[in-house]
Chain A
Amino acid sequence: MSNYVQLLLSGIAVGSLYALIAIGYTMVYGILRLINFAHGDMFMMAGFFLIYIAAIPNMPIWGALLLTIALTVLLGFLIERCAYKPLRSAPRMSVMISAIGVSYLLQNFATYFTGGLAQAYPAIPLISNKIEIFGVSTKLITVITPILTIILVVALVLFIKYTKIGMAMRAVSKDFETSQLMGIKINRVISMTFIIGSFLAAIGSIMYFSYYEQVSPTIGAMPGLKAFVAAVFGGIGSIPGAVIGAYLIGICENIIKSFPAIADLSNAFTFVLLIIILILKPNGLFGEKLSEKV
């Protein structure tokens, strides 16, 4: 029994983290039709930011957390401005290649700067504490993560639904050109999207690494890919869809990890799931069909 609780708990925790990353993917794809391959690496960079900032003498942990979030948001903003904005009128493939270039650059930079070795993540007081639920001992983070994720997702959905910029985001994702003609400041909307995506990635990163305890330069790639699959699963562009997809992947993955014979294949499972959903429901669970005007 306690074994199942353990599995479910960690599945939900991991799923929540995938959800936070997946939102960044799905929002960017919804607006720019760009698979932002660098998003997973943003998540990795956020991990290193905290390691280096927390090492500064006399730096209080809350200061380090805030600075980490601020730096990640700044990085996301700058990446969009430098690497994607100049290619606004270029073919979509060029922008995706630019995203791959950014991912390659961030990974190489992190390898150079850190010496390429995995580094220990600082223990954050309180959330790294142990607690016991249903007879299972776990870190407090396992419980906090899903709660925080749900709060953030609800806040985001409300933001998109009721604020002016949120409305602009919805308009841009429906029709890029027309919303531009309607006077929406497209660059501001896109920057906002990247800022929100990076903010959630930073939060996700703090919780993910508090859970797994170490950061290495290539660690962002896998959670990034999985989060993207979650976004596709839920129907790309749909935030609730991405969240449901992420929980599903997180839980299934942990169940698979519990069987020693197939534990090695837990990463592979995500992509099998991708292929299955693409065959059965190519637009994802909540995706809209996009048809091209002829």
Chain B
Amino acid sequence: MANTVLSIENITVQFGGVVAVNNLSMHVDEGEIVSLIGPNGAGKTTAFNAITGVYQATNGRVIFNDEIILESHPTGKMKKLYAGENADLYHKIISKTPDKIAKLGMGRTFQNIRLFKELSVLDNVMIAKHMRLKGNLFTDTFMINYKEERKLREVCLELLKIVDLYDLRDEVASSLPYGKQRHLEIARALATEPKLLLLDEPAAGMNPQETEELTALIRKLRKDFNLTILLIEHHMNLVMDISDRIYVIDFGKLISSGTPEMVQGDQRVIDAYLGVADDE
């Protein structure tokens, strides 16, 4: 049995009266590619943001690499408002910030590309290496650890070669075409030296050929970097092609999970995507 890298237990995210993610539990084992799919507005990105610490989940627990990165239960005003389940399962509040979680080895990309727009392609990647730097403010400013900095630059240039951005390394990030920006997001996430990579709709806006290339790239990255990958995606071809397992959510709730074949045949999934016949 493989090691579990990420385990999500009963996560609920509630904004005011709206339950965006409802009692979601899932796990990702080492070396797997797992996809989280669901219709628009199902709560996928919210779940991602709760895992990576951008939002604090209202209830539930997330364990990454045997370390609790999030544990929460409804407090304050939320105690009355809470509309989810398992409210008395957790008693502590642990909420690691996104930077701590990144440092533990969870890298991510963003659905609505969030590059450092005015900075060069190379700088974008090098920023992600900042937290791995051994030098301190003083040695770094006065270039006492210039060897480390030089090595770091080489590693980043290698990464750019892998995602085919080496020739564009000095361009400003915002000047790249859309597809290249998505690649840069991946390179930047890789530079954080992740064990688990979270990709939020990496193929959004790509044409079939680009999507195919991306599929190949994701496979290659898993192999070359020993990665475990959690993916949100709408391109069903990509998802079915690449995933070891799939979780399907709708209205914040898990409705199905299993291998691509199992999920594809599940009536609840078909209903969620196509609408139930009775409704029409």
Q: Which residues of A contact B (CB under 8 A)?
A: 291, 294
Q: Please, which residue of chain A has its CB at the minimum distance from the CB of B110?
A: A294
Report A-chain residues with C-beta under 8 Å of the C-beta of B54: 294
Report A-chain residues with C-beta under 8 Å of the C-beta of B49: 294
Q: Please, which residue of chain A has its CB at the minimum distance from the CB of B48?
A: A294
Report B-chain residues with C-beta under 8 Å of the C-beta of A294: 45, 49, 54-55, 110
CB-CB nearest 7 A-B residue pairs: A294-B54, A294-B49, A294-B110, A294-B45, A294-B55, A291-B55, A291-B15
**In the bound complex, CA of A216 to CA of B4 (Å):** 71
Task: State how many angstroms separate the Cβ of A222 from the closest Cβ of chain B.
Answer: 37
Task: Tell me if A's interface is mostly helix, strand, loop or mixed.
Answer: loop
* Interface members, chain B 167-184 (any A CB < 8 Å): none
**In the bound complex, CA of A294 to CA of B45 (Å):** 9
Q: Please, which residue of chain A has its CB at the minimum distance from the CB of B200?
A: A294
Q: Which residues of B contact A (CB under 8 A)?
A: 15, 45, 49, 54-55, 110
Task: State how many angstroms separate the Cβ of B95 from the closest Cβ of chain A.
Answer: 15
**In the bound complex, CA of A294 to CA of B109 (Å):** 11
Selected A-B contacts with CB under 8 Å, 7 pairs:
A291-B15, A291-B55, A294-B45, A294-B49, A294-B54, A294-B55, A294-B110
Q: Please, which residue of chain A has its CB at the minimum distance from the CB of B45?
A: A294
Report B-chain residues with C-beta under 8 Å of the C-beta of A291: 15, 55
Task: State how many angstroms separate the Cβ of A211 from the closest Cβ of chain B.
Answer: 41
Report A-chain residues with C-beta under 8 Å of the C-beta of B45: 294
Task: State how many angstroms separate the Cβ of A175 from the closest Cβ of chain B.
Answer: 15
**In the bound complex, CA of A291 to CA of B15 (Å):** 10
**In the bound complex, CA of A291 to CA of B55 (Å):** 9
Report A-chain residues with C-beta under 8 Å of the C-beta of B110: 294
**In the bound complex, CA of A291 to CA of B45 (Å):** 15
Q: Please, which residue of chain B has its CB at the minimum distance from the CB of A293?
A: B112
Report A-chain residues with C-beta under 8 Å of the C-beta of B15: 291
**In the bound complex, CA of A294 to CA of B112 (Å):** 8
**In the bound complex, CA of A291 to CA of B46 (Å):** 13
Task: State how many angstroms separate the Cβ of B254 from the closest Cβ of chain A.
Answer: 22
**In the bound complex, CA of A294 to CA of B49 (Å):** 8
Task: State how many angstroms separate the Cβ of B107 from the closest Cβ of chain A.
Answer: 16
**In the bound complex, CA of A294 to CA of B44 (Å):** 12
Q: Please, which residue of chain A has its CB at the minimum distance from the CB of B52?
A: A294
**In the bound complex, CA of A294 to CA of B55 (Å):** 9
**In the bound complex, CA of A96 to CA of B49 (Å):** 31
**In the bound complex, CA of A294 to CA of B113 (Å):** 10
Task: State how many angstroms separate the Cβ of A280 from the closest Cβ of chain B.
Answer: 14
**In the bound complex, CA of A291 to CA of B54 (Å):** 10
Task: State how many angstroms separate the Cβ of B266 from the closest Cβ of chain A.
Answer: 30
Task: State how many angstroms separate the Cβ of B193 from the closest Cβ of chain A.
Answer: 23
Q: Please, which residue of chain A has its CB at the minimum distance from the CB of B46?
A: A294
**In the bound complex, CA of A71 to CA of B98 (Å):** 51
**In the bound complex, CA of A291 to CA of B14 (Å):** 13
**In the bound complex, CA of A294 to CA of B48 (Å):** 10
Task: State how many angstroms separate the Cβ of A286 from the closest Cβ of chain B.
Answer: 14
**In the bound complex, CA of A294 to CA of B108 (Å):** 13
**In the bound complex, CA of A198 to CA of B54 (Å):** 40
Q: Please, which residue of chain B has its CB at the minimum distance from the CB of A292?
A: B54
**In the bound complex, CA of A291 to CA of B49 (Å):** 13
Task: State how many angstroms separate the Cβ of A213 from the closest Cβ of chain B.
Answer: 48
Task: State how many angstroms separate the Cβ of B75 from the closest Cβ of chain A.
Answer: 14
**In the bound complex, CA of A139 to CA of B201 (Å):** 68
**In the bound complex, CA of A73 to CA of B110 (Å):** 46
Q: Please, which residue of chain A has its CB at the minimum distance from the CB of B49?
A: A294
